[in-house]
Amino acid sequence: MAVPKTSAGRFFEDYALGQVIDHAVPRTISGGERALYHALYPARHAIYSSDEFARACGLPAAPLDDLAGFHLVFGKSVPDISINAVANLGYAEGRFLRPVMQGDTLRASSEVIGLKQNSSGKTGVVWVRTRGTDQTGACVMEFVRWVMVRKRDADAPAPDTVVPDLAKALDPQDLVLPEGLDFTGYDFAQSGEPHRLADYEVGETIDHVDGVTVEEAEHMLATRLWQNTAKVHFDATSRPDGQRLIYGGHVISMARALSFNGLANAQMIVGLNGGSHANPCFAGTTIRAWSEVLDKAETDRPGVGALRLRLVATSGAEPFQLRDAAGKYRPEVLLDLDYWALVPV
């Protein structure tokens, strides 16, 4: 009898604290990934669009869009971490450590940093720190995420509960900025907006105005491009309602791209403090976005400041509404993301 060839993926009892899982299928980036990212999302941040603009900011060329790199690394982790997940519960301590350039080959691994069986005994929460590395072995990004995973066997013993102590937000001095980055000669006409760090006030909210109605073909193209294999995104028969669930990262990228209108100079994401996929998103939804300025910081790179931003994606209601009276996300909220981005001072 031949050994079974397909894997059902890991269940809660298959994870152990300190375990390091190397994720399969490395991926080399070309201009094709960039072009597709710009076709899938209305992405217009100039540093990712133009080699000339990037060079004027001290980079060797335009990197791959920050979130495209994130999706690639995330996608590699799906077969090992979230294929049997009931829910993606959150992100923390995400840092973009090196711009991903064309020609780079990315691989990924995850370390189990927390485990907690749920009281039902049927599921548990797994915390992992996932790292993406390039062909030189340099780490290009890392982030923590935690997911609720089914147990294979409800009778399997519960592991010791370890809940990692995660920063609520990255301290600005823990952000890693791209080598050579320099915004002193920043071209505000070519970037699309005149706003600089000083123009943003903590507490300020921005309605990004535009909306994009999403199609099945688009989110599947995107999700496949990142080699994310979660079947709920592709197989209309996998949910009882016959709908394909849109990969949460598709909503993140759509909202980030929509935020260009008001945040054109929030050029590079360098930190991901947290994020919740507040409600599921399906094809036919018109995604809108608004932002709130949460914090501001200076950096040691010439001309470069940092904005901490809340980015909220909605399915279309009035902006700036996040939670109901009971403190729960309102039904039209799709995403609540907290990140650090670099802006000219």
Contacts to a second copy from residues 255-284, by CB under 8 A:
261-264
Contacts to a second copy from residues 187-206, by CB under 8 A:
189-193, 195, 199-201, 204, 206
153-166 burial, b at 16+ Cβ within 10 Å, e below that, comes to: eeeeeebeeeebeb
Place of tokens 């072009």: 35
137 is a contact residue toward a second copy (CB under 8 A): no
**With contact defined as beta carbons under 8 Å apart, do 321 and 312 qualify?**
no
Residue 278 CB, nearest distance to a second copy (Å)? 21
Of 32 and 331, CB closest to a second copy? 32
Taking the C-alpha atoms of residue 212 and residue 314, their distance in angstroms, rounded to an integer, is 11
Near a second copy by CB under 8 A: residue from 121, 213, 302, 324: 213
Contacts to a second copy from residues 280-339, by CB under 8 A:
286, 316
Element (H, E) at 304: strand 304-314
Of 40 and 270, CB closest to a second copy? 40
Place of tokens 């976005």: 289
Taking the C-alpha atoms of residue 244 and residue 122, their distance in angstroms, rounded to an integer, is 25
Near a second copy by CB under 8 A: residue from 10, 12, 15, 46: 46
Going across the sheet that includes 268-276, the strands are 20-28, 105-117, 123-133, 139-150, 85-96, 268-276, 333-344, 304-314, 286-298, 205-213
Of 11 and 234, CB closest to a second copy? 234
Neighbours of 249 (CB within 10 A): 23
Neighbours of 186 (CB within 10 A): 21
129 is a contact residue toward a second copy (CB under 8 A): no
229 is a contact residue toward a second copy (CB under 8 A): yes
Q: Candidates 20-28, 120-128, 172-180, 268-276: pick the segment binding a second copy (CB under 8 A).
A: 20-28
Of 92 and 100, CB closest to a second copy? 100
Chain centroid to CA 304: 22
Binding mask 88-107 for a second copy (x = CB under 8 A): --------------xx-x-x
Near a second copy by CB under 8 A: residue from 17, 221, 297, 345: 221
Q: Candidates 50-58, 119-127, 141-149, 164-172: pick the segment binding a second copy (CB under 8 A).
A: 50-58
Of 62 and 126, CB closest to a second copy? 62
